[in-house]
Amino acid sequence: MKLPGERKSNGLARVFRFPALVGVLLLAGLLSALLSEGLGRYFSWIALSLPVSICLWFYLQACSRSGRTSSKSRP
């Protein structure tokens, strides 16, 4: 049975392309503040807050979706 949000198996590249991008940006952020005090700092703040932003984004999305479905399911 196929459930919403599920699909046929994705390839390795597809599954890991987003995590890999986040990983590379995190690594760049970790090093940039070490190597440069000016711009590097600002970049590191943006890059290293990515995991927090991503999790918050999907949390809010899930909240709004469950809000929609619960209001729909109400008789």
Partner 1 sequence: MKARSVRIWTAVHKWTSLVSTVFLLLLCLTGLPLIFHHEIDELLGYAVPPDPVLAGEKATVDRIAEAALAHEPGKVLQYIAWDKDDPSAVIAYTNVSRNGDPDDAVLRAFGAYSARPLGLVGTGPMLIVLKLHTDMFAGMPGKLFLGGMGMLLLVAVVSGVVLYWPFTRRLDFGTIRHARTRRVMWLDWHNLIGITTLVWALVVGGTGVINTWAELLLNNWKSTELAAMVAPYAGKPPPAHLASLDRIVGNALAAAPGMEVAFIAFPGTPFSSSHHFAAFMRGDKPLTSRLLKPILLDGETAAVADRRDLPVYLKALFVSQPLHFGDYGGVPLKIIWALLDILTIAVIASGLYLWFAKRRKFRRGRALLTGNQLPAEAR
Chain residues 10-49 in contact with partner 1, contact rule CB under 8 A: 10, 12, 15-16, 18-19, 22-23, 26-27, 30, 33-37, 41, 44-45, 48-49
Q: How many residues does the chain have?
A: 75
DSSP state of 37: S
Beta carbons within 8 Å of 48's beta carbon, 6+ residues apart:
26, 29, 30
Do the Cβ atoms of 28 and 47 come closer than 8 Å?
yes
Could you say whether residue 60 binds partner 1 (CB under 8 A)?
no
Judged by the rule CB under 8 A, the positions of this chain that interact with partner 1 are 3-10, 12, 15-16, 18-19, 22-23, 26-27, 30, 33-37, 41, 44-45, 48-52, 54-55, 57-59, 61-62, 65-66, 69
